[in-house]
Structure formats: C-alpha cells, structure tokens
Structure 1
C-alpha cells in the first residue's frame, strides 16, 4: 500500500505516493495515459481502505460511476509522483472526488470522479450512513 502523507496544506489534503515503473512507458517514451488512471485508482483505494478516511461496512463496496482526466504535462520514468484527493460533493449514495497528480512542484494531471456506495450482494446503491457522510465531509474541499 502506498504511504499516506500527513501533509495538510492546500485543498486536496489526502496524499499518497507512487513510483513509476519502466513498463509504464509507451513507445513515445512517456508514461502512458492509461497509467494515470491506475495512479488515481491507487489513491482512491488507499482513501477507502486506510480505515481513517472512509469506513465501509463489510457488506459494502464503492464503484466508480464516472471519471474525467485532464492531462496537463507529460510524465517520464524514473519518477515518484504524489497523488492528491479531496471530496467535492456528497450525495445520498454517491460522492465526488477531485484528484491531482504532482511531480515535485508541477501538477501534471487533474481528475474528477463520481463514486457510488453499493451493497456487495445486490450490486445496488445504498445510502451513505451519517458516520460515512461525516468522514467524507472531513475531506471536503471548496
């Protein structure tokens, strides 16, 4: 599991780090655009599994309903990137994340996604509990 950074400056306070792999490169010599999605996924999964940010019931899981990624700069191997996350909306059974990928002081990508809380057995949306709503609101960004 990636390290969860304790830094709280800026709006997207949940932070993880990922090391880029040689195999993440494409024929043009930069990190393939599909890898950005994987980096963002690792950050979201860490947010949902650290036990500190969003506590799920054993009968629940979270799925991605929508995602949009803006590619702002190229990434090159070797490097370690920081992925940042904040909550931008809390609905009845869904919530939205804003995420960014940073290489040092340079933002290389930003993304927006909608997550839906589901019951594992039925695969149907289920309302967020008051505790879950509070947990998400702790990470709210304007």
Structure 2
C-alpha cells in the first residue's frame, strides 16, 4: 500500500519571514506546513471549496532541529504517518541545503459540519492517503 512518496513544495524565504539575524521566524513553519498539506486537502475536496470542507485540525506540533536562513530555498516534504477510521496524522519535514531543519505532526479529523461529529474517511480517500504513508 505504501510507497513512501511525499508531497513536496519549495518556498523561497522572503525577507519578511526573517528576524534581524536572518533566521526564519518560528511561526513561518506552521504556515509552510499548512501550505504543504494542500495536496492532502485536495484528496478530500479537489477544488478546495470551503463550502464543502470536510476536515478540522485537532492538533499540531513542531520541532526545530536547525536554524533556517534567508536566501536559501526551503523544501517541505509531507507524508501521512497514520490513518485511522475518521482521523489521520500528517508528518512534515522542512529541508534547507539538504539538512532537515524542522519536523511537524498534525492530526486532522474528517468532520461532518452538519452533524458536528467526526465521520469515517471514505475508503477511496484512505487508499490515496496510503500512497503517501511513511512507516516508522
């Protein structure tokens, strides 16, 4: 089921995303990680229609391993690390100059806003999520 293929997106570090020392600010990673999850969002809602949005964020955690700097692109790799009945966990890594600088985990829940309850992830979507499963 798994082929460990991540979704990848590369960002050019903007000057406004840095501090006086040229380091990327800690809140920027949360934004980059969210943008890196867009392909996963499209598995549920291909057109990203917010009126038909089926996901909520239950938690996220970011670990910083190395400093990130202005002037060098950053690549965010996005994997799925766990698939449950109604939730799944996303593992993300931020790489700069071939060094893993940060990791993040996010738990997303498939959610029915009409009933205000979690809902089972459709089997077809589970299969697509599985294509990006990174096993420990």
Q: Which of 98, 102, 109 pairs up with 2:102? A: 109
State the shift of 1:27 in Å: 3.4
Larger RCO, structure (CA 8 Å, separation 6 or more): 2
Superposition RMSD on alpha carbons, in Å? 2.0
Q: What residue ranges of structure 2 are gaps of 5+ in the alignment? A: none
State the shift of 1:126 in Å: 1.4
Query: Which consecutive aligned stretches of 4+ in structure 1 deviate over 6 angstroms post-superposition?
Result: none
Q: What residue ranges of structure 1 are gaps of 5+ in the alignment? A: 1-9
Match of 1:80 in 2: 73
Q: Give, in whole Å, the separation in 2 of the partners of 1:76 and 1:114.
A: 28
Q: Which of 42, 48, 67 pairs up with 2:35? A: 42
Match of 2:17 in 1: 24
Scaled by the length of structure 1, what TM-score is found? 0.81
Scaled by the length of structure 2, what TM-score is found? 0.84
Q: Give, in whole Å, the separation in 1 of the partners of 2:92 and 2:5.
A: 7
How many pairs does the alignment contain? Answer: 129
Match of 1:90 in 2: 83
State the shift of 1:68 in Å: 1.0
Residue 119 of structure 2 is aligned to residue 126 of structure 1: yes
